[in-house]
Structure 1
Amino acid sequence: MIQYADVTVRPQVRRMWKDVFGDTDAFLDLYFRDKYRDDRTLVYIEEGAVVASLQLLPYDFSFCGTEIPAAYYSGVCTLPEARGKGYMSALMKASLFELQRKNIALALLVPAEQELTSFYGSFGFSTTFDAGNIDLPSLKELSGRWPGDLFGAYREFDSWFRANDMTVQKSFDDFRVIMEDSRLFDFPAARSLPGMARVIDAGSLLRIFEKAYPDISIALSITDSLLERNCIEFVAGKCRDVPYPVDIAGLAQLLLGYHTSEKAEPLRAAFPEKTPQMHFMLE
């Protein structure tokens, strides 16, 4: 049975996280105090016990000159003894419908292991974020520049990323938790993360894209094996070509401008290449 978490199963979710990921109690205290919410947590219950769970954390994502609501998958885990029974597959499918119901346009995640890329790919996710090859600005140095002024530090932090297109943005509350987490581990160096994205609302993202690029001419026929609402035809400009077939995984790469210069025509000309970024994601 799939349901949202509640106070009765919350301790099981935390215990499973610790058993699967091995995080410290200090980190878990921080996470379950400041990021965890029952109404963001889907659990699979079998014989009265939680056997799998995932959390959908809200973020804003800068996209084509505006910011859209996105959900970041966190704490995706199954008890070792319950694996191979389809519990997580059922949770993943249910989560997509929940995001659609909540009008979330885009889903994001960072696979805990490279071999999970194909698992998430089966639910329409595609690689859209490359790992950074240089260190991001130091949070330790940032803290030193703003002693006793966390909001001042946040304003500087926000200035690093807010104007960047295709980037996960952070609120002040997000930043506060990021800083506390970093202090727990003596401010380790950080780089942009390799990650994946999944389009939840193709129509709304395509309308934003079309408004941002009014001179582009393209026709697409989009397919989505899980979210039927995304199976649409999209025509931009005065294009009269036969619609180019694109599955929902490919659409995420096109809209986020992920290595689009390597795509075939007419896609290469229609979708400007960008540098999507995810960084300082609490895990």
Structure 2
Amino acid sequence: MGKKQQIMELWKQNFQDPEDFIQFYFKKKYSNENALVYEENHKAVSSFLLLPYPMSWLKTVILTSYISGACTRQEARNQGYMTLLLKEALTKMNKAGVVLSTLIPAEDWLFKYYNKLGYASVFDYSTEIYVPDSIPHDFSFQVTSPTTFHPEFTTATYRFFSQAMEHRICCIQHSYEDYMAIIEEAYLCGGRLLTISRNQEIKGWGLAIPQANHTFIKEILWENEPCKKALLQQVFNIWPNKPIICKLPPYGPHYHSYGMARIINAQQMLKQVSKQNPGLTLTIKIDDPQLSFNTGIYKLSQGECQKIKPTGTTTDAETDIPTLTQALLGYHPEQLPFPLNHLAPAQQPYMNLMLD
């Protein structure tokens, strides 16, 4: 059995995905180069894919790697195989120039497991329930929503989607190829892509999936509030008599934990922080048990970041990788100790549409 087939079999053992989704996912996302497998006696026992994604962060774009489909053969669980494979992946990501790793834990208890390997919870989301009311909406928009996957229409909507996503700071971005796969997969699930336009210019975009008791909007983008309401009304017109639940970037006090991130190359990220804050002078000691090259003392000064010798050096802060990850991504800095809470502005890291 080949490498790809073995990984697919592990996927089927661990996840309850329908066969058409599995075939679609491996057709669109799998390559031998991005697949990591731990084998014993020429048999795969643990595996996952490493998928590259750009991420907007601090006025620049960094390369991230998303760990997808991490799983272990049932009879081989709790024997450390996944931990060994993840440590191998961290080194591989660094060699590939990746500065940040991301993942979405399949179960809540896995947040603690990944935290031990340096990952921190940073990606959240909020939900909003929409039920149409009696207030008149603006119906002057042109609505387009093909009932089947339409490549030409999907291509025509990518520019609006990508520009709207790029305006979100600290956000995982999607290439054109990835975008096409996202929309096609939604149609496999009975969903629809919708846009509202005026004068042939898109003003709102939504990706909706019907569920048993509601309609779920996986992502919604709009130019202004009237556009948002008009788009939601069109979703309701397609699937009437059901409330609409929208997934949104986190806001306010109520949000849900979703994904995790881990710094792969601390110096590269600290260099960007120093570059954008040339007046910042700070000496940080970092401990990274999994990636020893990150361990050390870093001095940020005059827009530069240098790794310095520890002899006789006084530090302003000491931190581990999970805390540093939260600090550099601006994740709830009010909960972080000084001076780590001043390394990046408060942000709302966001990751969505990962075919999870």
After TM superposition, the score normalised by the length of structure 2 is: 0.72
Q: Distance in 1 between matches of 2:145 and 2:169?
A: 26
Question: What is residue 214 of structure 1 aligned with on the other side?
Answer: 278
Q: Distance in 1 between matches of 2:323 and 2:182?
A: 32
Range with bigger deviation, 158-167 or 273-282? 158-167
**Is it true that 1:198 corresponds to 2:270 in the alignment?**
no
Q: Distance in 1 between matches of 2:270 and 2:22?
A: 38
Quick one: which of 132, 143, 162 aligns to 2:126? 132
Q: Distance in 1 between matches of 2:350 and 2:39?
A: 35
Q: Distance in 2 between matches of 1:143 and 1:35?
A: 26
Conserved 8 A contact 2:328-2:343: no
Conserved 8 A contact 2:281-2:300: yes
Q: Distance in 1 between matches of 2:50 and 2:348?
A: 24
**Is it true that 1:265 corresponds to 2:338 in the alignment?**
yes
Q: Of the two, which has the highest radius of gyration?
A: 2
- SS of structure 2 residue aligned to 1:130: strand
- SS of structure 2 residue aligned to 1:73: strand
Question: What is residue 113 of structure 1 aligned with on the other side?
Answer: 107
Conserved 8 A contact 2:54-2:173: yes
Q: Distance in 2 between matches of 1:95 and 1:149?
A: 38
Shift of 1:132: 2.4
Q: Distance in 2 between matches of 1:20 and 1:185?
A: 20
Amino acid at match of 2:76: A
Question: What is residue 183 of structure 2 aligned with on the other side?
Answer: 179
Conserved 8 A contact 2:154-2:183: no
Q: Distance in 1 between matches of 2:267 and 2:164?
A: 30
Larger proportion of strand: 2
Query: Any idea what the Cα deviations from partners look like across 1:194-221, whole Å, max 9, x if unmatched?
Result: 1110000001111111112223343211
Identity %: 32
Question: What is residue 51 of structure 1 aligned with on the other side?
Answer: 45
Range with bigger deviation, 190-199 or 254-263? 190-199
Q: Distance in 1 between matches of 2:282 and 2:168?
A: 25
Shift of 1:84: 1.2
Conserved 8 A contact 1:218-1:270: no
Query: Any idea what the Cα deviations from partners look like across 1:100-155, whole Å, max 9, x if unmatched?
Result: 111211100010011001111111101111132338xxxxx7755x9642222111
Q: Distance in 2 between matches of 1:142 and 1:178?
A: 18
Question: What is residue 165 of structure 1 aligned with on the other side?
Answer: 169
- Listed as ranges, the matches of 1:82-93 within 5 Å are 82-93=76-87
Quick one: which of 229, 250, 265 aligns to 2:323? 250
Structure 2: segments with no counterpart, 5+ residues? 130-142, 192-208, 210-216, 219-246, 250-256, 303-312
Q: Distance in 2 between matches of 1:220 and 1:142?
A: 53
Question: What is residue 353 of structure 2 aligned with on the other side?
Answer: 280
After TM superposition, the score normalised by the length of structure 1 is: 0.89
Q: Distance in 1 between matches of 2:108 and 2:170?
A: 22
- SS of structure 2 residue aligned to 1:52: strand
Conserved 8 A contact 1:61-1:169: yes
Conserved 8 A contact 1:142-1:153: no
| Count of residues in correspondence between the two structures | 271
CA separation of 1:14 and 1:267: change in aligned 2, threshold 3 A: same
Q: Distance in 2 between matches of 1:268 and 1:50?
A: 43
